[in-house]
Amino acid sequence: MISSRIPAFRFLAPTAFALMTLVSACSNDTSLSARFTQSATAQAPGLVKLVGAGTSGSIARVHVVLFGPEPNLDLFGFRFGIGIGDPNLVRLIPESSYTQTTLTAGGGQTISVQVDDGSDPSLVKVTIAKQGGGAGNGIAAAATVVIELNFEVRGSGTTTLTLVGLGGNPPQALDSNNAPIGAVTFDAASAGISGVMTGGGY
């Protein structure tokens, strides 16, 4: 009797261990990834549009792009917002400095970049301007970066990012007289940003 029970115990123990390992493997290792989808609006000289610049985990890097060439513009500044459809799903990651390549500083000029989402998490306020007087600049390239921003997804789901105006005005590019530049238009269609959960479960 004793010898007949020993083989049965030795057979069941490894099986139970394997089952526990399988359950553990299937219930862990979930990860959240960001996905960005730009609008279907076709690029054209003078258009400002949200364009994806890559993702890393739950972070999506987004470029506000001005398409060119537009060599005769008198670009001196920008004033616009980015509306976040669901601020509980997506938030801006504040940075100590922001990348831009559209405005170029001439003699005696500096460039100020201000980004604010503190007062309203559903609206990222962007103000970029040359300081020190002088003239604005045109752009010779096919595309330049008005500003680079990083957004973090905080869960599964999809929402929108939309270029909007500030203070009752439409989104604006401004010349050296602080007047809106009619040749620069902003994409009215929304981009999409999603959080996708992968792994875990069976």
Give pLDDT tens digits for 135-171.
Answer: 999 999 999 999 999 999 999 999 999 999 999 999 9
Instruction: Look up the pTM and report it.
Output: 0.84
Give me the DSSP letters along 23-43: HHHHHS--EEEEEEE--SPPP
Give the list of residues 6+ apart from residue 46 with CB closer than 8 angstroms, or none.
66, 67, 68, 70, 183, 184, 185
Would you say residue 68 has pLDDT above 90? yes
Domain boundaries, the chain: 31-198
Considering the four listed CATH numbers 1.10.260.40, 2.60.40.10, 2.60.40.680, 3.40.50.300, the one that applies to the domain covering 31-198 is: 2.60.40.680
**pLDDT at res. 201:** 57
**pLDDT at res. 5:** 43
Over residues 180-191, the pLDDT tens digits come to 999 999 999 999
**pLDDT at res. 28:** 60
**pLDDT at res. 18:** 43
**pLDDT at res. 195:** 98
**pLDDT at res. 200:** 67
Q: In the predicted model, what is the mean pLDDT of residues 121-133?
A: 97
Give me the DSSP letters along the chain: -HHHHHHHHHHHHHHHHHHHHHHHHHHS--EEEEEEE--SPPP-TTEEEEEEEEEETTEEEEEEEEE--EEEEEE-EEEEEEEES-TTTEEE---SS----S----TT-EEEEEEE-SS-TTEEEEEEEEESSS--EEE-SSEEEEEEEEEEE-SSEEEEEEEE-STTSPPEEE-TTS-B-TT-EE--SPEEEEEEEES---
C-alpha–C-alpha distance, residues 49 and 66, integer Å: 7
**pLDDT at res. 117:** 75
C-alpha–C-alpha distance, residues 30 and 199, integer Å: 4
**pLDDT at res. 118:** 78
Q: In the predicted model, what is the mean pLDDT of residues 32-54?
A: 98
Return the minimum-mean-pLDDT range out of 13-17, 30-34, 87-91: 13-17
Mean pLDDT for the chain? 89
Q: Which residue has the higher pLDDT, 62 or 198?
A: 62
Would you say residue 101 has pLDDT above 90? yes
**pLDDT at res. 199:** 82
C-alpha–C-alpha distance, residues 107 and 11, integer Å: 83
For CA atoms 39, 51, 173, 184, give the dihedral sign: negative
